[in-house]
Structure 1
Amino acid sequence: MSSDEILVGYDGSPDAATALRWALDEAGRSARPVRLAYVFEWLTVAGWIGPGVAPGVWPDETARRQVEELVAKAAGDAAATHPDITVHGEVLDGPPALVLEERSARAALLVLGSRGHGGFAGLLAGSTAVAVSAHAHCPVVVVRGGAVEGGRAGHVAVGVDGSEYSLKALGFAFEQAAFRKVPLHVVRAWQPPNAPWQPEPDPKVALAAEGAELDESLERWRTDFPDVELTVEVAVAAPAPLLVDASRNAQLVVVGSRGHGGLKGMLLGSVSQQLIQHAHCPVAVVRER
């Protein structure tokens, strides 16, 4: 497996097919190969959790062969419709989240549907998608069914709060905007402190300070990507609704896997999870690059 590959969690579900289409489009822009990975979870202490087999029943070779045929057909169809892209497929064994996290160390990008069936049962936020986004060794893109086609012509949006991961997300977002030749919309949310013993700051002064810090973060990337049209929004708002709104006309929204300040607690149950559930376009969660 090449470290330049786009890895797609694939189980034959409609959302997995949507994720594959997104990954193929991305491969066309970045000239990377694509690898489909079907993760087959077999017997556990609680019993069988594999595709279409009742708990407690050990699967036979027919089930495995059917999965291999499914993946081979999907990879073959993708290669036929995208002849300039190298497409591979493989079937792996183990817990889906753990296997995909391990494989992500050798991928440039990991793409998932927001929910699946079979090996990816319960993939909606709160399960595999959130777990993988939290621990993957490369950026993870979660593609929600119905949240792709309408946003293709839009901008790239990114949430930045000055934390380490949000700055990694900012670099990824600049690269995506440059590849796609679309504007980049940078969002920073600020909320007044809610502790009763803290004096409430003047919102105008606070927003000016937030904007100045954001400009400093943007300076390097403006130099590296001078052709990217840039807009900046600093607002008094909760970060998740602000980013969901920014995703409405976007083709991709990017966040770090965790943050502080305006994006505090971005990991697990917070901003990134809310975006995975409610964004109007695919969501990229950047933890490592």
Structure 2
Amino acid sequence: MPETARTTPRRRPAARAPLRIATWNINSVRLRLPLLRDLVAALEPDVLCLQETKCPDEAFPHEGVAALGFAHRLVRGMKGYNGVAILSKRPILLREDDPDWCGKGDCRHLGAALDAPGGPIELHNFYVPAGGDIPDRAQNPKFAHKLDFVAEGTAWSAARPARRAILVGDLNIAPLEHDVWSHRQLLDVVSHTPVETEALTRWQQAGGWHDALRHFVPPTEKLYTWWSYRARDWRATDRGRRLDHIWVSPDLAGGLRRHAVLKDARDWPQASDHVPVMVELAA
């Protein structure tokens, strides 16, 4: 009687551990360092990108951040304003050749290679200029700087289409109709003017970036990440804007699993006017 052929069952490849990327305009890392513990407890990010750290590199609170589990840190800061940081539980390596945006050296971008199970991920953390109050290039140099910055970002993305890449940060533009509390009333307000929203859309399209937050929340639904300090009761009026963004390259979009907008952070003591946002993806 012939021996029955035996086959060895194929092993399924192990599922990749999800990667959680969060971004937050912290509006002073030293002032709000205690709030990072609450953020970590709520979102458990593997990587946290901060904007407006307002802290020169030599004064960055590395010890306090390391105590939260972020063994790997990149910082680029200056005294009093701007500043960006990438805090990671996974190894990261600084990208050395990224642009000096608008030739100002004003600490608005950090690029890094992030260790991930599927291979390194190119990670970019941006703080785009706010642009002042007058939406006119000729009258307002701050607005001109903002438009020039976004134009440089667009050309940069067009020259190097995104692959295994993530771009996050406070981009200071709410591009879609339902990214603001009133599209009609904010059309002439900096952050939602047509010239800005069209410029940001061109940047996104130039690199083929996928809007990770709108992946989960349809464009027909309201989505905010910022509420002004001027509002007496920000939650009751809910006059928000979506200024904080996470974009992923098309090859990572299929791995998106979930998102979070930590709205309750707006009620924390000494809160930032921005709240943390996070996406989880298989990477």
TM-score range, shorter chain: under 0.3
Whichever structure has more helix as a proportion of its residues is 1
TM-score, normalising length from structure 1?
A: 0.27
TM-score, with structure 2 as normaliser: 0.27
